[in-house]
A and B are shown apart, each in its own frame.
Chain A
Amino acid sequence: MNHNSNILWIIVRRMRTPLIVIIVTFTISIIGMVLIPGVDANGKPYHMSFFDAVYFVTFMASTIGFGEIPYEFTYAQRFWVLFSIYISVIGWFYAIGTIVSLIQDKKLAAEIALARFQKKVDDLKEPFIIILGYNYVTKELIRKLSLSDKRIVVIDKDQDKIDELELENFMPEVYSIAADVERPEVLKLAGIKKRNCKALVTLFNNDFKNTKIALLARLLNDRINLIVKSTTQAQTEHLQNLGIKNIIDPFKIIANRFYLAISSPSLWLLKMMLFEHELYFKDKDRLPKGKYVICGYGRMGKALEYSLKKANLPCSFIDLKSAHFKDKKNSAIFGDAEDIELLKKAGIEDATAIVAATKDDLINLTILLTAKNLNPDIYTIGRENTLDDLTIFQSAKIDRVYMLEDIISDYVHKVVALPLSARFLEFLHKQNEEWGTKVLDDIRHNVTYNPIYFEIKISRTQTFAIYYYLKEGHEIRLRDILRSLKNREERAKIKVLLVKNRKEQITYLPDDDYCVKVSDSFLIASTEEAKEDFITILNNANELNYILTGRDLRFGLLKRILDE
Chain B
Amino acid sequence: MNTQKVIAGFFIIMAMTLNFGFFYGDISDITQHNPYELFAAIVINLIATVLKLGDKTQLGSVLLATSLVADIQLIAASIIWGVSLYVFKADVAAVNEIVSLSGGALMANFVSVILFVGDTIKSRR
Q: Is B85 touching A12 in the complex (CB atoms < 8 A)?
A: no
Partner of A50, one of B35, B46, B51: B35
Q: Is B46 touching A13 in the complex (CB atoms < 8 A)?
A: no
Measured between beta carbons, the chain B residues less than 8 angstroms from A27 are 39, 43
Partner of B51, one of A9, A20, A30, A51: A20
Q: Is B54 touching A13 in the complex (CB atoms < 8 A)?
A: yes
> How many Å from the CB of A9 to the closest CB on chain B?
6
Q: Is A50 touching B54 in the complex (CB atoms < 8 A)?
A: no
> How many Å from the CB of B9 to the closest CB on chain A?
16
B100 adjacent to chain A (CB < 8 Å): no
Of all chain B residues, the one with the shortest Cβ separation from A18 is B50
Measured between beta carbons, the chain A residues less than 8 angstroms from B86 are 51
B47 adjacent to chain A (CB < 8 Å): yes
How far apart sit A50 and B74, CA to CA, in the bound complex (Å)? Answer: 14
Q: Mark B43-58, 1 if CB is under 8 A from A, else 0.
A: 1001100110110100
B82 adjacent to chain A (CB < 8 Å): yes
How far apart sit A34 and B85, CA to CA, in the bound complex (Å)? Answer: 16
Task: Tell me the dominant secondary structure on chain B's binding face.
Answer: helix
Q: Is B53 touching A23 in the complex (CB atoms < 8 A)?
A: no
B17 adjacent to chain A (CB < 8 Å): no
B28 adjacent to chain A (CB < 8 Å): no
> How many Å from the CB of A91 to the closest CB on chain B?
13
A183 adjacent to chain B (CB < 8 Å): no
Of all chain B residues, the one with the shortest Cβ separation from A13 is B54
Which residues of chain A in 462-512 are interfacial with respect to chain B, using CB atoms and an 8 Å cutoff? none
Of all chain A residues, the one with the shortest Cβ separation from B35 is A50
Most buried by A among B35, B39, B51, B78: B39
- Given the known interface contacts A20-B47, A23-B43, A50-B35, the answer about A12 and B53 at a Cβ–Cβ threshold of 8 Å is yes
Of all chain A residues, the one with the shortest Cβ separation from B42 is A27
Measured between beta carbons, the chain A residues less than 8 angstroms from B82 are 50-51
- Given the known interface contacts A49-B85, A51-B85, A51-B86, the answer about A20 and B43 at a Cβ–Cβ threshold of 8 Å is no
- Given the known interface contacts A20-B47, A24-B47, A50-B39, the answer about A9 and B78 at a Cβ–Cβ threshold of 8 Å is no
Partner of A20, one of B36, B50, B54: B50
A328 adjacent to chain B (CB < 8 Å): no
> How many Å from the CB of B7 to the closest CB on chain A?
10
A242 adjacent to chain B (CB < 8 Å): no
Partner of B56, one of A9, A23, A50: A9
> How many Å from the CB of A132 to the closest CB on chain B?
30
How far apart sit A24 and B44, CA to CA, in the bound complex (Å)? Answer: 9
Q: Is A16 touching B47 in the complex (CB atoms < 8 A)?
A: no
Q: Is A23 touching B46 in the complex (CB atoms < 8 A)?
A: yes
How far apart sit A13 and B55, CA to CA, in the bound complex (Å)? Answer: 8
A19 adjacent to chain B (CB < 8 Å): yes
Of all chain A residues, the one with the shortest Cβ separation from B46 is A23
Partner of A16, one of B35, B50, B78, B85: B50
How far apart sit A376 and B50, CA to CA, in the bound complex (Å)? Answer: 84
How far apart sit A239 and B53, CA to CA, in the bound complex (Å)? Answer: 49
How far apart sit A182 and B51, CA to CA, in the bound complex (Å)? Answer: 38
Q: Mark A1-37, 1 if CB is under 8 A from B, else 0.
A: 0000000010011011001100110010011001000
How far apart sit A234 and B49, CA to CA, in the bound complex (Å)? Answer: 60
Most buried by A among B36, B53, B82: B53
How far apart sit A50 and B53, CA to CA, in the bound complex (Å)? Answer: 27
Partner of B54, one of A9, A23, A51: A9
Which residues of chain B in 16-60 are interfacial with respect to chain A, using CB atoms and an 8 Å cutoff? 35-36, 39, 43, 46-47, 50-51, 53-54, 56
Which residues of chain A in 264-292 are interfacial with respect to chain B, using CB atoms and an 8 Å cutoff? none
Measured between beta carbons, the chain A residues less than 8 angstroms from B85 are 49, 51
Of all chain A residues, the one with the shortest Cβ separation from B56 is A9
Q: Is B54 touching A12 in the complex (CB atoms < 8 A)?
A: yes
Of all chain B residues, the one with the shortest Cβ separation from A23 is B46
Most buried by A among B43, B46, B50: B50
> How many Å from the CB of B12 to the closest CB on chain A?
14
How far apart sit A16 and B52, CA to CA, in the bound complex (Å)? Answer: 9
- Given the known interface contacts A30-B39, A50-B78, the answer about A16 and B53 at a Cβ–Cβ threshold of 8 Å is yes
Measured between beta carbons, the chain B residues less than 8 angstroms from A16 are 50-51, 53-54
Measured between beta carbons, the chain A residues less than 8 angstroms from B54 are 9, 12-13, 16
Measured between beta carbons, the chain A residues less than 8 angstroms from B78 are 50
Measured between beta carbons, the chain B residues less than 8 angstroms from A20 are 47, 50-51
How far apart sit A51 and B38, CA to CA, in the bound complex (Å)? Answer: 12
> How many Å from the CB of B83 to the closest CB on chain A?
9
Which residues of chain B in 81-113 are interfacial with respect to chain A, using CB atoms and an 8 Å cutoff? 82, 85-86
> How many Å from the CB of A58 to the closest CB on chain B?
13
> How many Å from the CB of B88 to the closest CB on chain A?
13
How far apart sit A27 and B50, CA to CA, in the bound complex (Å)? Answer: 15
> How many Å from the CB of B72 to the closest CB on chain A?
16
Which residues of chain A in 246-262 are interfacial with respect to chain B, using CB atoms and an 8 Å cutoff? none
Which residues of chain B in 64-83 are interfacial with respect to chain A, using CB atoms and an 8 Å cutoff? 78, 82
How far apart sit A19 and B46, CA to CA, in the bound complex (Å)? Answer: 9
A-B contact pairs, 5 of them (CB 8 A): A12-B54, A13-B53, A13-B54, A15-B53, A27-B43
Residues of B within 8 A of A (CB): 35-36, 39, 43, 46-47, 50-51, 53-54, 56, 78, 82, 85-86
The 6 closest A-B pairs by CB, nearest first: A13-B54, A51-B82, A19-B50, A27-B43, A12-B53, A12-B54
